[in-house]
Amino acid sequence: MDTLELIGSTMGLGFVAGVRLYATILTLGLAIRFGWFHPGPMAEPLRVLAEPIVLIAAGVACAIEFLADKVPWVDSIWDSFHAFIRPIGAVVVSAAVLGSFDPALKVTLIILCGGVAFASHSTKAATRLLINHSPEPFSNVAMSLAEDALVPFGVWLSLRHPQLVFALVLIFLAVFIWIAPRVFRAVRLQFVGLSIWLGFGEPTRQNDVDPEPLSALNPEVGGALRVVARHASPMAATNARQFQRALGLDKPAAGIRAAATRNIRGLGNSIGYLVIGTDNLAFVTKRGFRHRVHRIKFTDVEQAQWRRGLLMNRLVVRTARGEQAFYVFKDVEIPRAGVVPLGESFARNL
């Protein structure tokens, strides 16, 4: 196997491991043990994967992942925990594959393999996060089954046609570089939501604030937006002054930490703050080294509702121009009465 083929096989296995680490290890181990397809010169370095103890451990982990990956939102939580496990696992597998290869090139390939695994995992996690906002389970299960099928095919292709795999991985990396900002925003949102859901960080305290402008709104709208005012806390000190200037306030602004959904044009998945202003609901965030403000005037609001989710809740504001929604983390307590249960499609909001 020449250098290009070795690079192609290593990067291909890294890509597949980023999608399904345990299934990749199990497939390689079974292939070597039962001779399903011969890994060539990689067989000896990877022979440890064919040991019974490794096959049993990989099989159990693979079975757990198979089940967890079919349940909406559970799969996103699983992906969050594996954001570093899969790239590290890919690095270990690539180190075994390369064996006693030239040390300088070996280290370079190991780093590339870990990067490819992180890229494929991030893309997978962001895609599944998007799919989880569809109320029907079929698209989620179909995508999971496609990923399951990708593993044996990807392992076989990486070992039998490494040059083709090398070209495909290069194309994937080029596309990934283009979409990386959107992917990382989605993954970051998932991480923040998960950390707060697990209880890291202090829950927000309720205030006795009752802004006068909300009293003029209909009870449903005023009640939904009042949650924002009553849980508002000072913004992060690093951006407080810039946020204050962006909102045009003469005093430090206070709000709840939230994120824009995809239907807030140009700000999808950006994490910032929701603020109750004098005549509008404002979302302020930092995007592309600029502080951005999205305002919804109270006079334009026709309906406002809270919708519960597993990692995050959503504040959905309906205006004449359509729905505008914001993710609100679990450190904000939302009212139980009048909350609309999940069951409507919000995939377009991510």
CATH number (domain holding residue 236):
2.30.29.30
Q: Is the pLDDT of residue 266 over 50?
A: yes
Point out the domain boundary residue: 197, 223, 252. Answer: 197
Residue at 319 is within a domain: yes
Residue at 206 is within a domain: no
159 shares a domain with 100: yes
247 shares a domain with 190: no
243 shares a domain with 169: no
Residue at 309 is within a domain: yes
Give the pLDDT score at 336. 67
238 shares a domain with 105: no
Residue 311 to residue 20: CA distance in whole angstroms: 23
| Numbers of helices and strands, H then E, in the chain | 11, 8
Structure tokens, 151: 């593993």
Residue at 203 is within a domain: no
228 shares a domain with 168: no
8 Å CB contact between 254 and 234: yes
170 shares a domain with 76: yes
Position 334, amino acid: I
The one-character DSSP state at 209 is -
The one-character DSSP state at 340 is B
260 band by pLDDT with thresholds 50, 70 and 90: very high
Give the pLDDT score at 167. 94
Provide CB contacts within 8 A for 343, sequence distance 6+.
135
Residue among 30, 132, 126, 26 at smallest CA distance from 71 = 132
Judge residue 121's burial from the number of C-beta atoms within 10 Å of its C-beta, 0-12 exposed, 13-18 middle, 19 or more buried.
buried
Q: How far is CA 173 from CA 7, 113, 160, 167, 177, in A?
A: 15, 12, 21, 10, 6
Q: Is the pLDDT of residue 19 over 60?
A: yes
Point out the domain boundary residue: 150, 165, 197. Answer: 197
55 band by pLDDT with thresholds 50, 70 and 90: very high
Point out the domain boundary residue: 197, 229, 253. Answer: 197
Residue at 164 is within a domain: yes
Pairing of strands 271-276, 312-319: unpaired
- Establish how many alpha carbons lie within 13 A of residue 107's alpha carbon, considering only the half-sphere containing its beta carbon: 2
Give the pLDDT score at 183. 83
Q: How many CB atoms lie within 10 A of CB 127?
A: 15
Structure tokens, 57: 């451990």
1 band by pLDDT with thresholds 50, 70 and 90: low
CA dihedral 151, 72, 120, 173 (to 10 degrees): 120
Residues 109-126: pLDDT tens digits? 889 899 999 999 988 888
Give the pLDDT score at 153. 93
241 shares a domain with 281: yes
Top pLDDT among 250 and 226 is at 226
Residue 286 to residue 272: CA distance in whole angstroms: 7
Residue at 204 is within a domain: no
Residues 267-290: pLDDT tens digits? 888 999 999 888 889 999 988 778
226 shares a domain with 172: no
136 shares a domain with 9: yes
Which secondary-structure segment (H or E) carries 161?
none
- pTM, two decimals, is 0.69
8 Å CB contact between 16 and 89: no
Give the pLDDT score at 170. 93
* Distance from the first to the final alpha carbon of the chain: 45
Name the residue range of residue 230's domain. Answer: 212-349
Print burial letters for 207-239: b (CB count within 10 Å at least 16), e (below 16).
eeeebebbeebeeebbbbbbbbbbbbeebeeeb
In total, how many domains does the chain have? Answer: 2
Which secondary-structure segment (H or E) carries 22?
helix 21-34
Residue at 258 is within a domain: yes
8 Å CB contact between 312 and 193: yes
Strand partners, 276: 281
227 shares a domain with 335: yes
Residues 24-40: pLDDT tens digits? 999 988 888 887 766 56
Residue at 202 is within a domain: no
Q: How many CB atoms lie within 10 A of CB 330?
A: 21
Residues 158-214: pLDDT tens digits? 888 889 999 999 999 999 989 888 888 888 888 888 888 877 767 777 777 778 888
Residue among 110, 111, 126, 134 at smallest CA distance from 175 = 126
Structure tokens, 152: 């044996």
Q: DSSP string covering 247-294, please?
A: HT-SS--EEEEEEE-TTSTT-TT-EEEEEE-SSEEEEEEEETTEEEEE
129 shares a domain with 52: yes
Residues 307-328: pLDDT tens digits? 888 778 999 999 988 899 999 9
Structure tokens, 6: 């070795």
Give the pLDDT score at 278. 84
242 shares a domain with 188: no
